[in-house]
Structure 1
Amino acid sequence: MPSHVTALQVMIASPSDVLEAREAVYTALSRWNEANTSSRKIALIASRWETGAVPMLGDHPQALINKQLVAKADIVIALFGSRMGQATPSAVSGTAEEIAEAEAAGKPVHLYFSTAPHANDVDPAQLQALRDFKKAIEERGLYGTFNSVEELTAHVWQAIEHDLHRLELTADEDAKPVTGVDFLAQPGEERLPKTDSRGRLKYETKRWIDLINRGGSDAEDVVIEPVADGIFLGGSGQPTIIHAGQSRRFPLMLALSAGDPAIKVTWTESKETRERIFHVG
């Protein structure tokens, strides 16, 4: 029997000043797919105006985005930093109009405001418009905040799991939902430019481990530790809680002498101590 996958369009809406956050949401959706699509038969399709909107004439640009992206979206995730964005003929900004369109259509809309320090050149008028919008939101719903891309990733996963439950989406009839803790250790890395004391451009590699709880239960007293010499984990040995559908990022450093990179994760589930070894090389 062929296996069918339910596809959900998730639109990422925001002004232009939160590019890093937009990319973080896109990455979070991709990682959710890596962890869940195979077992739960659900795929999240990220939608962004810069890649999803088809250039056309005949209407206001925002109206075209509404028709092409908002109308097709199943879920909308909206992000704000220090700007409200450019006004449209019918709303204080394009992002605000997208939120209103989705909300009117009964789609789940999740708003997140950055609490990171504002840039020195922030536009006071934009900042005030954002504050007014935020105050208006407080009168009709809840919004979230984030101070880092790691925190935003956790919020996105939590929102997606909430929406899947609300939409009553399940996997194939033969698939059984995961009710306990189900960890996935996802390694990641990126090369960052760095200038030395002589002004020469060099690169350093930043590595990390994303520990993702794909299950339906919270994991308590979570401790992550290296199991070999030459592996260093930021925050290792410190107990934490990783709720169902959330993730936690741990900085990773590897010495030249490090062998097969592996980590041990221990946690408490149903008052019992569990552990699992992950090879992350």
Structure 2
Amino acid sequence: MPFSAVVSQLLISCPGDVTESDLAVVRNAITRWNGTYGERFGAVVLPVSWNHNAAAEFGRPPQESINEQLVDRCDICIAIFANRIGTPTASTESGTTEEIDRVNKNGGYVGILRSVRPADTRSIDPDQLGRLRNYLDDIKTNSLVLEYEDNVTLAANVEQILVAAVSRNRGRAEVQLASPSAAKAQYAEIWPRTTSEEKVRTNSRGQVSSSRNWYIALFNSGKAPARNVKFDVKDERSGDDVPWRIIVSDVDTPFDVAVLAPNSEVRFPVALGMGMPVQARCVVTWDDDRGRQTNEATIRLV
């Protein structure tokens, strides 16, 4: 059946060392999201990139052409890094960093991903890697950079970015339609996800072992603090509580987080156990100037 939708253009931005297979995963995840959630959100996301959509043009720097033809028309940007930052432009470290800055300054939503897949060290340029690390360190205070090491995690990260970006854009459109004078209002926007860290240990015999610690992360991508934040993990089919052992707090309080600042994240460790389901539905609620708000998303421990 036909449905009405707001169409957003999404810029896929990356240096040349990001593989075509990773870019295919990103595009497939966007296509799958449109089919699964497009009608529910009243939104369709169209991916664009310079190598697929920019027209050849003579007479000015390539980045200027890309900016005019694509970047400045996009509402969302997914920027992907591996081990290179890219080629410098006239104003920034690389084309990718310039595109990140332009979409952000134009009020768009920017999600940054970093590949941590194993790579042949002989193919890595130390200067490029060093500049990339410096850039990522510089933006840590203002950006949440999600890492991926396999296709499943990459696709999940893309879907989470789409939900957050489309929800924010839809909220803005609804506010502007309801009252143009209210468009300047600022709200919180929290989405749950899972994240993990690998811990490497060396024993007294020099033997190396590793383990992975899992967390539920709540990220406020909005422009206002979220208060009285609480989350629950439910079975996707039955709606019953899922037996995940989540370490919340040793203090008995009615909420899991009293105040979650804009562009900040809080994580809760998950203690894995035998027989635990790897997938669940996480429901997060909070208060802002609109009243009590709710978002929910599928999260996985994989």
TM-score, normalising length: structure 2: 0.57
Corresponding residue number in structure 2 for 1:8? 8
The answer to whether the 8 Å contact 1:53/1:65 transfers is: yes
Taking only the aligned residue pairs, the percentage that are identical comes to 30
The amino acid of 2:132's aligned partner reads L
The answer to whether the 8 Å contact 1:220/1:242 transfers is: yes
Distance verdict in 2 for CA 1:41–1:122, change over 3 Å: same
Which digits, 9 at most, give the CA deviation of each residue in 1:142-182, with x for residues without a partner? 2111111210111111111112222235999xxxxxxxxxx
Which digits, 9 at most, give the CA deviation of each residue in 1:126-147, with x for residues without a partner? 1111111111111322211111
Counterparts of 1:14-53 in structure 2, within 5 Å, are 14-19=14-19, 20-53=21-54
Give the alignment partner of residue 161 of structure 1, picking from 148, 160, 163. Answer: 163
The answer to whether the 8 Å contact 1:222/1:239 transfers is: no
SS in 2 for 1:71: helix
Which digits, 9 at most, give the CA deviation of each residue in 1:218-247, with x for residues without a partner? 653889xxxxxxxxxxxxx86222444447
Distance across 1 between alignment mates of 2:172 and 2:279? 26
The answer to whether the 8 Å contact 1:82/1:130 transfers is: yes
SS in 1 for 2:235: strand
The answer to whether the 8 Å contact 2:279/2:301 transfers is: no
Deviation at 1:90, TM superposition (A): 1.1
The answer to whether the 8 Å contact 1:221/1:240 transfers is: no
Which digits, 9 at most, give the CA deviation of each residue in 1:24-81, with x for residues without a partner? 1111000011112344431110111111111112321011111111111110000000
Distance across 1 between alignment mates of 2:126 and 2:83? 9
The answer to whether the 8 Å contact 1:157/1:246 transfers is: no
Corresponding residue number in structure 1 for 2:84? 83
Corresponding residue number in structure 2 for 1:140? 142
> Which sections of structure 2, spanning at least 5 residues, go unmatched?
175-231, 239-274, 282-295
Counterparts of 1:1-281 in structure 2, within 5 Å, are 3-19=3-19, 20-120=21-121, 121-169=123-171, 219-220=234-235, 239-243=277-281, 244-246=296-298
Which digits, 9 at most, give the CA deviation of each residue in 1:68-99, with x for residues without a partner? 11111110000000111111111111101101
Distance verdict in 2 for CA 1:11–1:241, change over 3 Å: same
Distance across 1 between alignment mates of 2:69 and 2:151? 28
> Which sections of structure 1, spanning at least 5 residues, go unmatched?
173-216, 224-236, 251-281
The answer to whether the 8 Å contact 1:4/1:41 transfers is: yes
The answer to whether the 8 Å contact 1:28/1:156 transfers is: yes
The answer to whether the 8 Å contact 2:279/2:298 transfers is: no
Distance across 2 between alignment mates of 1:62 and 1:96? 11
The answer to whether the 8 Å contact 2:278/2:301 transfers is: no
